[in-house]
């Protein structure tokens, strides 16, 4: 092994971490924050900055514990441009060399997050040291699930807290997850670790037992890594998590606990980090480009869903039961299917006299139970339709009001040694990430959504055939052609990195 000396080091890096935890006064009207008790802090939210530099290139990676850096949540649409402008002024970093990823946790952040972001990058810039670079993978498949359900009728539904799940017997299959943790490790020349950048796909939305403000599972994962590697900063980069939820997201038997999930992710990342050897020389490359994606015309999808809504409403059947009588009857028929209406001897007594009044009553009640259950299922469906219809109408309104028929999206490609990252502002589905990783010429390719802006959900063209059936395909403003355009561009960019 060759000795490591400073003269051989070509890459410099600096890191910083600043608290951005919000409180009650920072809690905006956004319904995303509605369930958070901001007076209570479960853990801290941070902005973390990594500045990388060699003789020719500077690249900045910022990660923010927030739902997004535009459009939703409390970070305004001017945030990214303003941060870039300030960093251009001091210390003179080109705006197109700055990548900002939101973890997508639904925590409340402080109102002066812009100033704190700028401060974090400037601090990282001021403390750059020579580094050695390594990259690799970790593995975690216990903390998440695909939230899109393939139904027997060919449609898809999703696992949300906003509405009920479809009936068990309607669910035919579930989609994939991506267990890859993409890891970039930066060591100081003395061998201690300066930074761990890790990319993983999962909505950090499990929440905490007390309902307080939290950076959720990715926040806890970073905590584990930073405690496990003293002196290192862990930057979580959200992956392609549009259709990936924390496991047991809708559990009603246990209090929600993001900490357990985050600790698993953190430990699995640490395990991956420890397999990585850092080398002295490393390529640093950053390409940032803007593409125009087609906005969708959602009028047909809205009309179709309105027809479905009317059909469901018409399909509700008259029934003599109410919730009280339904539950009482349901219990009796479940406890004693043979003799639900009375004690067994009464049935025997009737039979001995040649009567079947109780049996006839049971048959009648069973029919009522079935009718009532069918009505409940239609009501649950109506709620799903109503919630998704609202999303479609919101995006149709935005698209109609927009000056252009296209929407701009920043696509960035970052290469640090063997570590390659492609980023996109929309919430990407896990299939998109898996496909790009497979098609990339680089072994260690990773993909990040919710980066450099926010473009709502960007599900696959295939998922968009289900428009109106699930959140991802309803909370979306682009036409299905977006996928081909983005993937072609991303692959081209990967080939140039
Ligand atoms: Zn989301």
3 state DSSP class of 317: coil
Cβ atoms of 84 and 412 within 8 Å: the answer is: no
Please tell me the predicted confidence (pLDDT) of residue 32.
Answer: 76
Cβ atoms of 241 and 285 within 8 Å: the answer is: no
Please tell me the predicted confidence (pLDDT) of residue 9.
Answer: 53
Tell me how far the alpha carbon of residue 194 lies from the centroid of ligand 1, in angstroms: 30
Tell me how far the alpha carbon of residue 493 lies from the centroid of ligand 1, in angstroms: 25
Cβ atoms of 213 and 107 within 8 Å: the answer is: yes
Tell me how far the alpha carbon of residue 284 lies from the centroid of ligand 1, in angstroms: 31
Tell me how far the alpha carbon of residue 285 lies from the centroid of ligand 1, in angstroms: 29
Tell me how far the alpha carbon of residue 98 lies from the centroid of ligand 1, in angstroms: 23
Please tell me the predicted confidence (pLDDT) of residue 1.
Answer: 40
Please tell me the predicted confidence (pLDDT) of residue 282.
Answer: 83
Tell me how far the alpha carbon of residue 155 lies from the centroid of ligand 1, in angstroms: 21
Tell me how far the alpha carbon of residue 137 lies from the centroid of ligand 1, in angstroms: 24
Which residues on neighbouring strands pair with residue 100, listed in sequence order?
62
Please tell me the predicted confidence (pLDDT) of residue 3.
Answer: 40
Tell me how far the alpha carbon of residue 291 lies from the centroid of ligand 1, in angstroms: 22
Tell me how far the alpha carbon of residue 245 lies from the centroid of ligand 1, in angstroms: 9
Tell me how far the alpha carbon of residue 309 lies from the centroid of ligand 1, in angstroms: 25
Tell me how far the alpha carbon of residue 223 lies from the centroid of ligand 1, in angstroms: 22
pTM as predicted: 0.94
Tell me how far the alpha carbon of residue 68 lies from the centroid of ligand 1, in angstroms: 9
Tell me how far the alpha carbon of residue 115 lies from the centroid of ligand 1, in angstroms: 25
Tell me how far the alpha carbon of residue 430 lies from the centroid of ligand 1, in angstroms: 12
119: number of Cβ within 10 Å: 16
Tell me how far the alpha carbon of residue 242 lies from the centroid of ligand 1, in angstroms: 6
Cβ atoms of 261 and 141 within 8 Å: the answer is: no
Shortest CA distance to 190 belongs to which of 124, 273, 278?
278
Tell me how far the alpha carbon of residue 182 lies from the centroid of ligand 1, in angstroms: 20
Give 10-residue mean pLDDT values along the chain (497 residues).
Answer: 48 97 82 79 94 96 97 94 98 97 95 97 97 97 98 95 93 97 97 98 95 95 97 98 96 95 98 94 93 97 97 95 97 97 97 97 97 96 96 96 96 97 98 98 98 98 96 96 98 97
Cis peptide, bond prior to residue 91, ω within 30 of zero: yes
Specify burial of residue 106 (Cβ count, 10 A radius: 0-12, 13-18, 19+): buried
Shortest CA distance to 457 belongs to which of 3, 68, 43, 56?
68
Distance (Å, rounded) from C-alpha 136 to C-alpha 146?
24
Beta strands across the sheet bearing 98-102: 98-102, 58-64, 46-53, 11-19, 129-139, 180-188, 193-200, 233-238
Residue 16, CB-side half-sphere exposure with 13 Å CA sphere: 18
Please tell me the predicted confidence (pLDDT) of residue 29.
Answer: 75
Tell me how far the alpha carbon of residue 289 lies from the centroid of ligand 1, in angstroms: 24
Please tell me the predicted confidence (pLDDT) of residue 10.
Answer: 86
Tell me how far the alpha carbon of residue 136 lies from the centroid of ligand 1, in angstroms: 26
Tell me how far the alpha carbon of residue 106 lies from the centroid of ligand 1, in angstroms: 9
Tell me how far the alpha carbon of residue 202 lies from the centroid of ligand 1, in angstroms: 9
Distance (Å, rounded) from C-alpha 438 to C-alpha 303?
38
Tell me how far the alpha carbon of residue 235 lies from the centroid of ligand 1, in angstroms: 19
Distance, CA of 135 to chain centre = 24
Cβ atoms of 28 and 211 within 8 Å: the answer is: no
Distance (Å, rounded) from C-alpha 359 to C-alpha 338?
9
Tell me how far the alpha carbon of residue 118 lies from the centroid of ligand 1, in angstroms: 26
Distance (Å, rounded) from C-alpha 416 to C-alpha 199?
14
* Cβ contacts of 31 within 8 Å, gap of 6 or more: none
Tell me how far the alpha carbon of residue 302 lies from the centroid of ligand 1, in angstroms: 22
């Amino acid at each position: 092994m060759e000795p490591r000396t400073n003269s051989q080091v070509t890459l410099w890096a600096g890191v910083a971490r600043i608290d951005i935890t919000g409180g009650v006064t920072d809690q905006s009207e956004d319904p995303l924050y509605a369930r958070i008790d901001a007076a209570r802090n479960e853990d801290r939210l941070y902005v973390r900055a990594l500045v990388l530099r060699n003789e020719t290139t500077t690249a900045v990676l910022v990660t923010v514990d927030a739902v997004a850096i535009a459009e939703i949540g409390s970070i305004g649409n001017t945030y990214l441009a303003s941060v870039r402008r300030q960093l251009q002024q001091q210390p003179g970093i080109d705006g197109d060399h700055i990548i900002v990823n939101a973890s997508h946790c639904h925590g409340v952040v402080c109102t002066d997050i812009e100033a704190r972001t700028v401060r974090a990058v400037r601090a990282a810039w001021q403390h750059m040291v020579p580094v050695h670079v390594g990259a690799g993978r970790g593995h975690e498949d216990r903390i998440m699930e695909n939230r899109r359900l393939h139904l027997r009728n060919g449609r898809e539904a999703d696992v949300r807290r906003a509405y009920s799940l479809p009936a068990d017997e309607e669910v035919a299959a579930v989609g994939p997850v991506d267990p890859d943790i993409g890891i970039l490790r930066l060591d100081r020349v003395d061998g201690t670790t300066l930074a761990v950048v890790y990319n993983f796909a999962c909505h950090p939305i499990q929440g905490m037992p007390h309902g307080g403000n939290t950076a959720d599972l990715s926040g806890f994962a970073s905590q584990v890594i930073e405690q496990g590697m003293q002196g290192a900063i862990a930057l979580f980069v959200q992956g392609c998590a549009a259709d990936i939820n924390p496991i047991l997201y809708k559990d009603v038997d246990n209090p929600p606990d993001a900490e357990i999930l985050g600790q698993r992710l953190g430990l699995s990342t640490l395990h991956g980090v420890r397999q990585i050897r850092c080398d002295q020389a490393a390529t640093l490359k950053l390409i940032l480009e803007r593409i125009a994606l087609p906005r969708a015309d959602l009028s047909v999808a809205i009309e179709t869903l309105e027809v479905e809504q009317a059909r469901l409403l018409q399909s509700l059947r008259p029934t003599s039961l109410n919730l009280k009588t339904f539950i009482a009857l349901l219990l009796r028929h479940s406890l004693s299917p043979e003799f639900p209406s009375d004690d067994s001897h009464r049935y025997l007594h009737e039979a001995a006299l040649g009567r079947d009044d109780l049996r006839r009553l049971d048959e009648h009640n069973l029919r009522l139970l079935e009718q009532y259950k069918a009505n409940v299922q239609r009501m649950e469906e109506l709620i799903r339709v109503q919630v998704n219809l609202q999303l479609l109408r919101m995006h149709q309104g935005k698209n109609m009001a927009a000056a252009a028929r296209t929407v701009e999206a920043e696509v960035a490609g970052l290469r640090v040694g063997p570590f390659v990252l492609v980023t996109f502002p929309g919430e990407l589905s896990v299939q998109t990430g898996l496909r790009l990783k497979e098609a990339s010429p680089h072994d260690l390719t990773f993909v990040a959504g919710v980066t450099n802006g926010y473009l709502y959900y960007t599900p696959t063209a295939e998922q968009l055939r289900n428009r109106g059936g699930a959140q991802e395909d309803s909370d979306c403003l682009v036409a299905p052609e977006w996928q081909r355009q983005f993937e072609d561009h991303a692959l081209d960019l990967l080939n140039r990195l």
